[in-house]
Structure 1
Amino acid sequence: MRLLAIAAGGAAGALLRYTVSGLAYTIFGEDFPWGTLSVNLIGCLLIGFLWQTFENSTLSPQLRALIFVGGLGAFTTFSTYGLESVNLLRDGQMRVAVLNILGSNLLGLVAVFLGMLLARWTAVWGR
């Protein structure tokens, strides 16, 4: 049952990733890996928020697997980030590669932290 939950979450996460990434490239252009950066930052924000929200809950193992392993696992793919960064370096686009690496890592950590703060704030606000 858990594998089906992961597969369902993975399908949803992959489709959402494709949609968000495509939208980012449509809005911002293709001169920078905007799609991957957007997906990574949104994914970091979501995982921070959802982890904080459900950390001490009685959420079933299947639902946790669907959300965290399947959904967010398929949505945020740092393997793509790595490949794009290496390709940028290989192509001599040092400035863009460094911006991508710093943006994904530093802003990703900030997004996880903000997601956790947002979850705490909404938990207090909802009481």
Structure 2
Amino acid sequence: MLTPALLVFLGGGAGSVLRYAVGRLAVQAGGGAFPWGTLAVNLLGSFAAGLLIGWLGGRSSSAGAQLLLMTGFLGGFTTFSAFSIDTIALAERSVAIAMAYVAATLITGLAAAWVGLVLTRSA
């Protein structure tokens, strides 16, 4: 039996390679003026996460599959899928909390990226 960390590692590697391939295909198809590859993996990953949660959610023996496919594969492919599923789960309990999560993620994520860029550019 594979350990949980190995399942995540194997799935993550495969997801990362697929993300790279989708990104290359998107640049070839649409050019680099718009991040089509990122948009494609975010949409595909979110769709796949919904399918997997729906499919694995009712199965009692799905822990290994969830680690391999959700945490590993989709985590390597795009973390936006986790963001999407987390937001939906929050919205089922409270739309206000879900919207606060979306706003906090976008605002603080963009701010953190900007601070990182500023720190490295000024060094």
Please tell me the TM-score bracket, short chain as reference: 0.5 to 0.7
Q: TM-score, normalised on structure 2?
A: 0.61
TM-score by length of 1: 0.59
Match of 2:19 among 17, 22, 25: 17
Partner of 2:60: 58
| Percent identity (aligned) | 42
Q: 2:30 — aligned with what?
A: 28
CA distance in 2, matches of 1:58, 1:15: 30
The alignment covers a number of residue pairs equal to 84
Question: 1:29, 1:58 → 2: CA distance?
Answer: 44
Moved over 6 A (4+): none
Shift of 1:77: 3.9
- Whose relative contact order is higher, 1 or 2, with alpha carbons under 8 Å and at least 6 apart? 1
**Which residue matches 2:50?**
48
Residue 6 (structure 1) aligns with: 8
Match of 2:70? 68
Task: Extract unaligned runs of 5+ from structure 2.
Answer: 81-105, 115-123
User: Over aligned residues, Cα RMSD in angstroms?
Assistant: 2.3
Q: 1:39 pairs with 38, 41, 56, which one?
A: 41
What is the letter of the counterpart of residue 41 of structure 2? V
Question: 1:37-61 CA deviation, whole Å, 9 max, x = no partner?
Answer: 1110000011011111111013332
